[in-house]
């Protein structure tokens, strides 16, 4: 049975909404918890959580401040925390097996790092991520500008989906399901925001809000549309755009990506308003806005851009080395075993061992980096997707720009969506020393082979 809003006809008794923590120091406890994720009438869901809420607490801090969080692992399994999108010290990146050892049950780890960029970021488990993130281990990290934009409200919307068994209300199936891993990944049958599938805000006509959208799903690509709202995109993946972009069509967010919008409520009292997402050939409400009254008689002018974050210029781009990373594998296409690096087994044997994908001929992390560059060097990578599925390729520790065929540069991103049979070229200055992961953020794909890394020394 598919768990949709038609199946879930009762109102959702949601988990407690996490409110901004705001403190620069404190503990973050990974623990088991139970929340009413499904509507009343269904059993409560057993989750893994930060501090007992779904999602975890919103952490807010100022740009340029120093964040300290002690991870306390009260789970029965090892875990770690990745601070997604932060240009961070490598030792704090939270990738078990590359930058640190996983924190064992009953153990702790002190994360301490500077926050150089203002923007919308998030944190999530990075040990067996395909299961731990799906069970609930994620939360928002908001780094605030010294002078924030002129808005009436600042709302964090962590978008997710959950695959639940309608009979039990618990997470369904095997998190290592081979069919899901070798296809599009684990997608849910219930979608929602901030831990609830009937997420609602109240607002007034002509009220101006900043919406911080985070796609925290394991594999689902969300195409979003504004309803009863006029909006502008002001930042992507935490990085401000040089000029605000009016929202005229769908906003596409792949897993791991973020978008900051400034929106004005144009709907009158009693008229529909909210955030819709594409389902099949139609649109369904993801966040509903109840419009009550009016804050002003006339709408405001378009907002100015956000102040930019620091960026190293892409000097010497024409002479920068171009590395090709071929994305191979998955159902329907497979791989040629002769191209694998350091693997004695062929494609059939890899499949039997749950390894369905390869990056640049390497299945899994491997001991050698995909590229080893000097600090300050400009690197270009062509991500060539030879598979039948899209992939959200995420680089840790640095942001990049996409390069178009005509030589124009895209906005700063940390995650790029590469469609099936397509390619994307990215370029960045490798100005952050360390071992940095480059992987697909469809987390089942990463777990079954789509994980590589870059050394910056």
Per-residue model confidence (pLDDT) at position 334? 55
Q: What is the pLDDT of residue 173?
A: 84
Mean pLDDT for the stretch of residues 292-312: 93
Span 216-235, pLDDT tens digits: 999 999 999 999 999 999 99
Strand order in the sheet with 434-440: 371-373, 451-456, 434-440, 391-395, 415-418
Q: Are 56 and 123 in contact (CB under 8 A)?
A: yes
At residue 352, the pLDDT reads 64
What is the per-residue burial (b if ≥16 Cβ within 10 Å, else e) of 219-248? bbbbebbbbbbbbbbbbbbbbbbeebeebe
> Residue 402: which pLDDT band, with cuts at 50, 70 and 90?
very high
So what's the pLDDT on residue 404? 87
Q: Tell me the per-residue pLDDT of 104-134, one tens digit each, with 9 for 90 and over.
A: 999 999 999 999 999 999 999 999 999 999 9
Q: What angle do CA 143, 411, 229 make, to 5 degrees?
A: 70
pLDDT band at 349 (very low <50, low <70, confident <90, very high): low
Residues 6+ apart with CB under 8 A from 233: 241, 244, 245, 247, 251, 259, 260, 261
pLDDT for position 23: 53
Edge to edge, the sheet with strand 66-73 lists 45-50, 27-35, 66-73, 108-114
> What integer pLDDT is reported at residue 331 of this predicted model?
84
The pLDDT value given to residue 350: 63
* 420-428 average pLDDT score: 96
Reported confidence tier of residue 346, pLDDT bands at 50, 70, 90:
low
- Predicted local confidence at residue 14, as pLDDT: 31
The model's pLDDT over 134-191, given as tens digits with 9 standing for 90+, comes to 999 999 999 999 999 999 999 999 999 999 999 999 999 889 888 899 999 999 999 9
């Amino acid at each position: 049975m598919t768990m949709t809003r038609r199946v879930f006809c009762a109102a959702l008794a949601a988990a407690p909404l996490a409110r901004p923590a705001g403190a620069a120091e404190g503990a973050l406890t990974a623990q088991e918890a139970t929340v009413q994720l499904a509507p009343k009438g269904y059993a409560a869901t057993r989750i893994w959580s930060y501090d007992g809420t779904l999602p975890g607490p919103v952490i807010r801090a100022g740009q340029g401040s120093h964040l300290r969080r002690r991870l306390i692992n009260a789970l029965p399994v090892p875990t770690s925390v990745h601070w997604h999108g932060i240009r961070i010290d490598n030792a704090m990146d939270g990738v078990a097996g590359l930058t640190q050892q996983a924190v064992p049950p009953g153990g702790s780890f002190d994360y301490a790092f500077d926050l150089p960029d203002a923007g919308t970021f998030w944190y999530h488990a990075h040990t067996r991520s395909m299961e731990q993130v799906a069970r609930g281990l994620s939360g928002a990290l908001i780094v605030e500008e010294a002078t924030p934009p002129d808005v009436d409200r600042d709302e964090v919307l962590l978008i997710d989906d959950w695959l639940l068994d309608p009979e039990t209300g618990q997470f369904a199936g095997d998190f290592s399901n081979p069919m899901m891993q070798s296809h599009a990944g684990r997608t849910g049958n219930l979608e929602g925001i901030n831990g609830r599938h009937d997420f609602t805000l109240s607002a007034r006509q002509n009220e101006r809000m900043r919406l911080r959208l985070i796609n925290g799903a394991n594999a689902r690509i969300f195409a979003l549309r504004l309803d009863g709202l006029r909006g502008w995109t002001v930042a992507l993946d935490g990085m401000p755009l040089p000029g605000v972009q009016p929202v005229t069509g769908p906003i596409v967010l792949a897993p791991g990506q973020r978008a900051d919008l400034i929106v004005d409520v144009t709907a009158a009292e009693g008229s529909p308003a909210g955030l819709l997402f594409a389902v099949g050939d139609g649109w369904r409400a993801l966040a509903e806005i109840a419009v009550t009254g009016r804050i002003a008689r006339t709408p405001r002018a378009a907002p100015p851009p956000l102040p930019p974050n620091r960026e190293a210029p892409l000097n010497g781009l024409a002479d920068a080395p171009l590395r090709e990373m071929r994305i191979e594998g998955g159902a329907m296409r497979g791989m040629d075993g002769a191209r694998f690096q350091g693997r004695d087994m062929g494609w059939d044997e890899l499949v039997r061992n749950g390894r369905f994908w390869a990056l640049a001929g390497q299945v899994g992390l491997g001991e050698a980096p995909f590229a080893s560059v000097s600090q300050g060097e400009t690197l270009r990578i062509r991500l060539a997707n030879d598979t039948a599925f899209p992939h959200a390729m995420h680089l840790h520790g640095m942001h990049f720009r996409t390069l178009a065929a005509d030589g124009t540069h895209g906005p700063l991103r940390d995650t790029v969506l590469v469609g099936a049979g397509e390619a994307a070229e990215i370029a960045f200055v490798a100005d952050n020393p360390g071992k940095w992961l480059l992987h697909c953020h469809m987390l089942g794909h990463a777990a079954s082979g789509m994980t590589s890394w870059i050394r910056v020394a």
